[in-house]
Amino acid sequence: MDLTPAPGGVPQPPPPGAYRVPARYGYPETPVETTTRLRPVPSGRQRWRAASAAACVVLGLGLIGGAATGAWLTGDSSAEPTRTPYATGRTVWHSVPVDTLFPPTLKGTGAGPGGTNRTWIRLSVAPDSDCSQGLDPLLRTTLRSVGCERMVRATYTDVTRSSVTTVGVVVTEADEAGMQALSTRFTEQRLAGRKDLMPRTYAPEGTLAAGFGDRQRASWTVRPLTEIPAVVFAVSGFADARTVPEPQPADAATETGADTDIAQAGLGHEAKGIADRVERGLRKTVTDLVEPPA
């Protein structure tokens, strides 16, 4: 995704792709032709011409009928292919504005500890890339079964500027069966809670998240989707770039009664809340493209 910075420093993607409407060429109208006075035509020649004209009419009707029958049986080959969530979801990373995938501001009503409201502000959006930049080798290996079409990421901070969170979307090459198999594997093997499968951070220079590296990762979530070919992930940490010796999965850090420093700081809620909203936005965008409002 070519995210060209726009005024204000917020990168913007290229305009959405669209089918080009072919130019329609017409032929210039010509003046009405003038002829000499019509002369009588011998009757035999006239009958021959009438028969030829009739044959042409029959032939023309046959061709038209054949074309119509073919179109009825096979459909219009020039018609736009049927949109599906998987076909659309695989291209959405470069066909919609970056602000649609990663809004400048995310509202988290009830998303904080104890049901408190949260608001997150986008710090920067990373250029689209392959998965080698955002996923550790073991996580890339885990996702190998579905392939990596492209990856897009952004980093947010909360309004108090006490936390930073990288959220991302891996667009996969898999079909519905492949994504369902991956989701089942994550559930049955509890892969989302493994520390060695944490996603990497995106630490844009010159921002509050500049010191947000691997050792600053505190809480995370990784979730394969099944309705569209995508894996959504998020990883959070303290904004002061402190090292976190024992990261905690977002599901554990958001449980009632969780009393770790990570849970008390709400970092599990940060990762989960931001991932939730990016996932919802992605689903809505794909649905609107597949089934546009009447």
Give me the half-sphere count of Cα atoms (radius 13 Å) on the Cβ side of residue 42: 3
Among residues 165, 221, 231, 226, the alpha carbon closest in space to that of 193 is found at 221
Q: What pLDDT, on a 0 to 100 scale, did the predictor assign at position 81?
A: 54
Q: Who contacts 184 (Cβ-Cβ below 8 Å, separation ≥6)?
A: none
Six token digits for residue 17: 């792709």
- Sign of the dihedral defined by the CA atoms of residues 191, 193, 198, 203, in that order: positive
How many Å is the Cα radius of gyration of the chain?
30
Return d(Cα 251, Cα 203) in angstroms, integer.
Answer: 24
| Residues 143/172, Cβ–Cβ less than 8 Å | yes
77-86, 130-139, 161-170: range with lowest mean pLDDT: 77-86
Does this model's pTM top 0.75? no
Q: Which residue has the higher pLDDT, 227 or 72?
A: 227
Among residues 90, 21, 65, 33, the alpha carbon closest in space to that of 228 is found at 90
Q: What pLDDT, on a 0 to 100 scale, did the predictor assign at position 225?
A: 98
pLDDT tens readout for residues 258-285 = 999 999 999 999 999 999 999 999 999 9
Instruction: Judge whether residue 15 has pLDDT over 50.
Output: no
Instruction: Judge whether residue 14 has pLDDT over 60.
Output: no
Neighbours of 183 (CB within 10 A): 16
Angle value at C-alpha 195, between 145 and 144, nearest 5 degrees: 10
pLDDT tens readout for residues 41-74 = 344 445 545 555 554 444 454 444 444 444 333 4
What is the three-state SS of 41-78?
CCHHHHHHHHHHHHHHHHHHHHHHHHHHHHHHHHCCCC
Structure-derived torsion over alpha carbons of residues 68, 74, 77, 81, reported in degrees to the nearest 10: 130
- Most confidently predicted of 7-16, 29-38, 44-53, 245-254: 245-254
Among residues 283, 273, 253, 255, the alpha carbon closest in space to that of 156 is found at 273
